[in-house]
Structure 1
């Protein structure tokens, strides 16, 4: 089966049941996929890319876990797009945002 970051988790499970354990082994938050009720609710709605964000891992971790199970990874080029909101550094314009004023309203309320 050919997969990419947009493939739904339910498609992986229907192709190979061993993918449940492979996905659960990637990250601790993804272990919930072992619970049948949550799997039926979430798997059809969550893609590999979204699951990577949920698990706090990368799409490459999913690729490394699923390729040995017989999945063929098809890159669509979207993996290398940098999301500006995921940047670890604060932009220079936010340096002034560190300045805060503490205003205690308790005396005004009494």
Structure 2
């Protein structure tokens, strides 16, 4: 039987869960009120940190789900994403517009990666 490992567990959720060779990250958001560029950089830095804690890297991301509060910021977010993503191993990715937890959040990113 494979053990479940929880990273950063809290009363409502864990920051990440590792199970059966895959790490599932909770949705990551940046500092409220900052631009989508600044928030995306912060989110991706947190993704890197959580992946490292799980024992993997962005080169092993399987899927990325990106939610933008305003789809009009798609190219601004993509500029940061394109500079960060492993070009040799890009994940399957989808992006949509959604009302996020607070109007101060402009981007939320959720990833799953192989460990």
Q: Which has the higher contact order (CA 8 A, sep 6+)?
A: 2
Higher strand share: 2
Higher helix share: 1
TM-score, normalised with respect to structure 2? 0.26
